[in-house]
Amino acid sequence: MNQLARTLRIGCIQLKVCANKTENVARALNKIREAKMKGAEIVSLPECFNSLYGTSYFPEYAEPIPGETTNLLSQIAKELEIIVIGGTIPERDGDKLFNTATVWGKSGELLAKYRKMHLFDIDIPNEITFKESDSLTAGNELAIIDVKDFKIGLGICYDIRFEELAKLYRKQGCNMLVYPGAFNMKTGPLHWELLARSRANDNQLFTALISPARDVNASYVAYGHSCVIDPWGKVLYMAESDEELFVVDLELDVSDKVRSNIPIFSQRRVDVYDTIENK
Ligand SMILES: O=C(O)CCC(=O)C(=O)O
């Protein structure tokens, strides 16, 4: 067994995002450089890292993939020989818009593209109403990348609420999930850590959630608290709300251990679940 392939240093960039796309992208590239200097082998940006977050902004900021933003992600991945999970950007494809994550390999090649599958449509009267489906179309495909011995599945923000998606990734052999996300000041304190730890614990894999930094003057105020959780559900690192770049070392032995110590996957009573569900 190649022990080195079973460890991975991930860099998480809780990026400050403003209205200026060029500035956002330049800032992100600088932070990717810093992550490389800290020894990160893979790095992730947050959801909507090049644009303001809001349904009215998506058409204004949207661009095709490949396009101006993702070309720069591809270039920096190649230059630094680092894997870049390009957070998400509003993507334009024909007359449709998507909330899309891309992953760039060490030769600048596109390793994966994931379009948010569950659109963020919620209505908590007098607190927060958001309807991504006003301007976005949902994706229908999984996206998995192989990095050393890590098999990483991608989701985006609201997707983390759907255990079915995480379980599908686990069934495909994933031992890590990465969700660029931007929870808000209502649901963030309530559910962000809970969901991150739940997905990790349910599926006995690492989860990483990467948020933009909090900007209290923005129309949508992100919660921050980017984090990495281990397969026991333990928080390895959780940021506060300001801009921050952090790296975390992951060891696959941890996921093997929890999977063998608490073997819930071989103990699932699908025979019973299926019988009851199909009654
Ligand atoms: O699920 C939530 O509470 C927040 C989701 C969200 O902000 C998003 O999907 O962008």
Q: Are 210 and 45 in contact (CB under 8 A)?
A: yes
Q: Residue of the nearest CA to atom 5 in ligand 1?
A: 158
Q: Cα separation of 99 and 68, whole Å?
A: 16
Domain annotation covers residue 111: yes
Q: Cα separation of 103 and 155, whole Å?
A: 12
Q: Given a cut of 90, is residue 275 above it in pLDDT?
A: no
For residue range 102-152, list pLDDT tens digits in order.
999 999 999 999 999 999 999 999 999 989 999 999 999 999 999 999 999
* Ligand 1 atom index nearest CA of 186: 3
Residue 174's pLDDT is 98
- Give Rg (Cα) of the chain: 18
Q: Scanning the structure block, which residue is given the tokens 């960039």?
A: 13
Q: Residue of the nearest CA to atom 7 in ligand 1?
A: 183
Q: Residue of the nearest CA to atom 1 in ligand 1?
A: 158
* Ligand 1 atom index nearest CA of 188: 3
Does the structure's ipTM exceed the value 0.95?
Answer: yes
Handedness of CA 45, 145, 201, 7 (dihedral sign): negative
Which pTM value belongs to this model?
0.97
Domain annotation covers residue 181: yes
Which domain, by its residues, includes 165? 7-278
CATH at residue 68: 3.60.110.10
Residue of 16, 44, 19, 2 lying closest to 179 (CA atoms): 44
- In sequence order, the 6+-apart residues with CB closer than 8 A to the CB of 96 are 137
Q: Are 220 and 21 in contact (CB under 8 A)?
A: no
Q: Cα separation of 154 and 116, whole Å?
A: 9
- The reply to whether 113 belongs to the active site is no
Domain annotation covers residue 160: yes
For residue range 61-110, list pLDDT tens digits in order.
999 999 999 999 999 999 999 999 999 999 999 999 999 999 999 999 99
DSSP line for 40-108? -SEEE--TTTTS--STTTHHHH-B-SSSHHHHHHHHHHHHHT-EEE---EEEEETTEEEEEEEEE-TTS
Residue 276's pLDDT is 85
Q: Given a cut of 90, is residue 279 above it in pLDDT?
A: no
Residue of 161, 185, 188, 187 lying closest to 177 (CA atoms): 161
For residue range 176-230, list pLDDT tens digits in order.
999 999 999 999 999 999 999 999 999 999 999 999 999 999 999 999 999 999 9
- The reply to whether 16 belongs to the active site is no
Tally of structural domains, the chain: 1
The Å distance, Cα 182 to ligand 1 centre, comes to 6
Domain annotation covers residue 2: no
* Ligand 1 atom index nearest CA of 47: 10
Q: What is the pLDDT of the chain when averaged over all its residues? A: 97
The Å distance, Cα 112 to ligand 1 centre, comes to 22
Domain annotation covers residue 1: no
Q: Scanning the structure block, which residue is given the tokens 């919620």?
A: 122
